[in-house]
Amino acid sequence: MIAPGALAKVGLSKLPQTKRRMKSRELHVLALNSGSSSLKFGLYRVGPSQTQILISGEAGSIGSQNGKFEVGDSRNKTLHSERVPIPTQTDAIIRIGKMLADRKMPPPDAVGHRIVHGGPKLLRHCLIDDAVLGELEAAAVFAPLHIPPALAVIRYATEHFPGLVQVACFDTSFHAGLPPAARILPLPKDLQREGIRRYGFHGLSCESIMRQLAGDLPGRLVIAHLGNGVSITAVKAGQSIDTSMGLTPTGGVIMGTRTGDLDPGVLIYLLLQKKLDAAMLEELVNRRSGLFGISGVDGDMRRLHAAAASSADARLAIQMFCYSVRKQIAAMAAVLEGVDMLVFTGGIGENDAEVRATICSGLSWMGVNLDATRNLDVRNPINELASHCAVRVVPSQEDEEIARHTWALLPHSAP
């Protein structure tokens, strides 16, 4: 564990304040993307016309003795990789800061944070102050896997990067304009007024897909973000009009350890008959279910593929995952009244040709027909030429979106 105050020893506690660079329209932004047990990071040079990655990496398996710290350059060439215990998110921040100093990277002028859920009052990306921190603390009940570690990262970054602007970038912002039929949950109005509604997530990922498609952005787009967390989003004329996740990131399709949508009667049964309390239910639906619960093997799709030859439960978990995603894509097609393009993104969506093929094998009725070779090689488009619906694999670039939004919120960026 790296001792508190270690940043001061490597000179990062004396980073120049943003005001010193206020006249410059090109600034360096440190993007921090915190998960429940990981912290991805990227240092970007951001200006009015371009965003350039300088260095990036990830601190993984935080809290375990088998932690991993990886760093790559702008061309994804590995610069450093080691297995090392990383006890907490704060230790990860210190390690990142020391790495930036050791490699003589430009000091950041601002820090941008991915925030999964801002609750009912924080629906737009914003500068972080005490009022915002208070709202985030209240929003932790909506995303218990994600908000507490994100808050820890914000507080530690604020303490050890003094003078730097901190910006919150919300996954829910992209879906803030959902139409009432998609946004409102079938509950009494007093609960609706308290902010119980569909929020939607993976918004930064969706924004990055739309930016990369640019001139090729179709009128009717379905984005399938498939990773440990999974969401399917319908985008019409550039606007999110429906998405699979709801009040929390637990809803929607089957995920690595999360249930996805579940008959509420199941929870009532568990409360009344099994005497589970709220903490036990939260543990069950977020950490012990999904692919992990079905297979009894693992929640990681790669390990399920490896186990599938000898485990019927692992095969069933993969089958149910693909079935669940396929159903939700079809639902979004109905909402859009047709689909012009289907995009796969996220760790599974970008890297698992077998899962993409299985999902699409049941969608030929809506014009989705994959080219087996192009799908395996990930050569876009991966659909057959005769397919009525284009299918593409597009990398999720959440960290770059964080850097862009952070730059845009700084006072210097005004024309």
Closest C-alpha to 57, from 85, 29, 28, 79? 79
Lowest mean pLDDT among 31-40, 220-229, 405-414: 405-414
pLDDT at site 235 = 98
DSSP string, 37-81: S-EEEEEEEE-SS-EEEEEEEEEESTTSTT-EEEEEETT--EEEE
* pLDDT of 14 over the 60 cut: no
Q: How many CB atoms lie within 10 A of CB 274?
A: 10
What does the alpha-carbon distance between residue 178 and residue 192 come to, in Å, rounded to a whole number? Answer: 15
Cβ neighbors of 230 (< 8 A, separation 6 or more) are 224, 244, 252, 253, 254, 255, 260, 325, 346, 348
pLDDT at site 194 = 92
The answer to whether 356 and 370 are in contact (CB under 8 A) is yes
| Confidence band for 6, pLDDT divided at 50, 70 and 90 | very low
Task: List pLDDT tens digits, range 272-325.
Answer: 999 999 999 999 999 999 999 999 999 999 999 999 999 999 999 999 999 999
Q: What share of the chain in percent tops pLDDT 90? A: 82
Task: List pLDDT tens digits, range 45-74.
Answer: 999 889 999 999 999 888 888 899 999 998
The residues annotated with a catalytic role in the active site are 171
What does the alpha-carbon distance between residue 172 and residue 176 come to, in Å, rounded to a whole number? Answer: 6
| Confidence band for 160, pLDDT divided at 50, 70 and 90 | confident
Q: Which residue type sits at 53? A: I
Lowest mean pLDDT among 105-109, 145-149, 245-249, 374-378: 145-149
pLDDT at site 35 = 78
Q: What share of the chain in percent tops pLDDT 70? A: 93
Greater model confidence, 151 or 25: 151
Per the prediction, the chain carries an average pLDDT of 91
* Equal CATH topology for 6-176 and 203-393: yes
pLDDT at site 414 = 43
Tracing tokens 């896997």 back to the chain, one arrives at: 145
**CATH: 3.40.1260.10, 3.30.420.40, 3.40.228.10, 3.30.70.360. Which one for 203-393?**
3.30.420.40
* pLDDT of 261 over the 70 cut: yes
Helix-then-strand count for the chain, H and E: 16, 13
* pLDDT of 2 over the 50 cut: no
pLDDT at site 22 = 46
**CATH: 3.40.50.450, 3.40.50.12280, 3.40.50.880, 3.30.420.40. Which one for 6-176?**
3.30.420.40
* pLDDT of 10 over the 60 cut: no
What does the alpha-carbon distance between residue 92 and residue 101 come to, in Å, rounded to a whole number? Answer: 14
What does the alpha-carbon distance between residue 371 and residue 364 come to, in Å, rounded to a whole number? Answer: 12
Q: Sketch the domain layout of the chain as residue ranges.
A: 6-176, 203-393
pLDDT at site 412 = 62
Bridge partners of 370, per DSSP, are 383
| Confidence band for 90, pLDDT divided at 50, 70 and 90 | confident
pTM: 0.91
* CA 302 to the chain's CA centroid: 19
Q: Which residue type sits at 92? A: A
pLDDT at site 9 = 39
Q: How many CB atoms lie within 10 A of CB 50?
A: 9
The answer to whether 157 and 166 are in contact (CB under 8 A) is yes
